Structure 1
């Protein structure tokens, strides 16, 4: 009874398989998986963000100019002209009747003020902070590129495992089907031989038992194939069927020392550690700038315009 339930469940999984699966090679299927990978897309967005941070870091300590201004409308009763200080004769607009504003007959006159100010700051030397900030941003950008490569590598590894797992499961399933077909033929032949008295009933039972075991193996292989195919489709996010086989002509590894050297030079995680180490050193250089003298050029100019 237990075996019957197992066979029923596996058969249900098999019949749910889509008949519209597209045959794709490993290269085409991986391209599709890359396009539909949200994790890979997030890694790409981080690269774009880090590149913008590099541009921002380069502009951080450049000369800057700031403009400020305000406008006011006052009554002479409330306005304190002493707060303006000494008004030079080279003001853009001289206040008309300024000398007479203190007279009592001037009460109730409306005075409009406009204050303008411009200031500039040029960091000539920042104690190495500017170079450190730019280097940190560039290292973060390189780290983002490495993260993308690592993410892509993991996606590729996951894809290869699932794609060729389906290939192997399919080969196993075809072999199981072939075995079941042959044993079914043997059962039919044994029944004929038994009817002719050429073999015993025990021989027939042995062949039937082997046939039933083969059918169970076939159903299980079909179920595993269906599960593997579903996992591959979830990764690729498309209904596909692998068409590539396994290549038996694997290249030789070569000398062990060369293999180790090649692995170390191309190991993405080791390259990431090196970048982090350089990034830490740049943070140290930036903090050193707090204890070094800085040279800045600064200037400002203010204008006061009165209108009566």
Structure 2
């Protein structure tokens, strides 16, 4: 038996010990392990690298060019094809002179300029000094793309923040609901016990005891469902943080709600979505400048230095190096410049209209979320009186039932009523935290939410 126990200890996995984690620590953990944030960071790194590559657009390009050419025949010059020899009529010359010229071998009149195999190698440089603003426009587009990715990263971070709030405090709420259901099961178990005793004494009918047992069975089913909700909430939080955790921060209701005008001001001046659209507008403007720049001339410096050449006469005649200034003026092109300029202007207007619509949407979202937070607070506070009434009603119904003055159904209804009120108050606190976190996320005040949660946790610990 001892060997079997040891074998089971080796084969069975050790239970995972959950780590107590405050919301502050959970947010830090999520920022470190989130694959979504890591992917967004790599997107930003790529944009930064592309921006750095854009700095090279204004630099000269230098390259080594080499070539091998095989000619049909070497390039040669026959002096007899040049004046004055070409214009001479041999018959008109004196016989002595004509005979002397005829005695000269024809190969002596031929001068080879190149060989049949031509090898060349040179160092070439090209430096654009004026491109009609195309280089600066391209660099501006790359800088705007970096700004866009920065704002996209902030949006992803805020979205993760609200998801963490939902899962972190959702795990707390589901556990609190489970505790409430377990208390209900305990209370109804005790009630069933009392009902059985009173039935044996003949003070109540069997139907009263059956009502109590049915209510207990239903409560056990609800408790099992609540337990599964706790498990699912814990799994969702653990998977998100990639760590088995137990939330330690309490649910809360703020003593005073934040100022809506202040939230509106922060949102309209700092929201990443608005800045992202502004970056898109800058990209569209840069694209328009690039297309307009194609109408202007391009001015460039160029140079060439021969690194290797053969021993032909052509190579001796050609200079070893050359530099110069070039101008390229576009007259007629087939790349549709005018259409591209019009498309860029449409993209600018689209970004502006989208920005205006986003402002309206954010303003409406703030108003709706703020009122949801206020409604959750009011519901939580109003249910406090209802909870006190439910507790008093349960106490009176229990006394009356024990004295045979009330039915089991009334006693059970009172118990269920108290449980329902307690659950509703928990749900109201959860909705309040969700709305408050959403407001802080929209206005960019994540640190304020974390600071308040930390203070409340310290107050609760003391």
The reply to whether TM is greater than 0.5 is yes
Q: Which runs of 4+ in 1 moved over 6 A?
A: 110-113
**2:292 aligned residue:** 288
Normalising to structure 1: TM-score of the pair? 0.75
Does 243-252 or 273-282 show the bigger shift? 243-252
Question: Is 1:164–1:246's contact at 8 Å kept on the other side of the alignment?
Answer: yes
**1:41 aligned residue:** 38
* 1:211 CA displacement: 1.8
Q: Does 1:149 align with 2:149?
A: no
Secondary structure class of the residue paired with 2:65: strand
CA shift in 2, pair 1:82/1:178, >3 Å: farther
* 1:119 CA displacement: 2.0
Does 222-231 or 187-196 show the bigger shift? 187-196
Q: Does 1:25 align with 2:16?
A: no
Question: Is 1:44–1:148's contact at 8 Å kept on the other side of the alignment?
Answer: yes
Aligned match for 1:121, one of 126, 150, 158:
126
Does 34-43 or 131-140 show the bigger shift? 34-43
For residues 1-308 of structure 1, the aligned pairs below 5 Å read 20-69=17-66, 80=74, 82=76, 115-249=120-254, 251-254=256-259, 256-302=260-306, 303-306=308-311
Question: Could you say which structure has the higher helix fraction?
Answer: 2
Normalising to structure 2: TM-score of the pair? 0.52
User: Which structure is higher in RCO with an 8 Å CA cutoff and minimum separation 6?
Assistant: 1
Q: Deviations over 1:98-127 (max 9, x none)?
A: xxxx79xxxxxx999763312222211111
Aligned residues: CA RMSD: 2.8
Please list every run of 5 or more consecutive structure 1 residues that lacks an aligned counterpart in the other structure. 1-17, 84-101, 104-109
Secondary structure class of the residue paired with 2:195: helix
In structure 2, C-alpha distance between the alignment counterparts of 1:41 and 1:82, rounded to whole Å = 68
In structure 2, C-alpha distance between the alignment counterparts of 1:167 and 1:158, rounded to whole Å = 14
* 1:282 CA displacement: 0.7
* 1:294 CA displacement: 2.3
Question: Is 1:169–1:221's contact at 8 Å kept on the other side of the alignment?
Answer: yes
* 1:160 CA displacement: 1.3
Does 166-175 or 181-190 show the bigger shift? 181-190
Secondary structure class of the residue paired with 1:244: coil
CA shift in 2, pair 1:59/1:272, >3 Å: same
Question: Is 1:111–1:306's contact at 8 Å kept on the other side of the alignment?
Answer: no
Q: Deviations over 1:159-217 (max 9, x none)?
A: 21112111111110011101111221222233233333444433323322322222122
Question: Is 1:113–1:306's contact at 8 Å kept on the other side of the alignment?
Answer: no
Please list every run of 5 or more consecutive structure 2 residues that lacks an aligned counterpart in the other structure. 1-14, 78-106, 109-114, 313-462
Q: Deviations over 1:32-89 (max 9, x none)?
A: 33333222211111111111111111101312222223579x9xxx983649xxxxxx
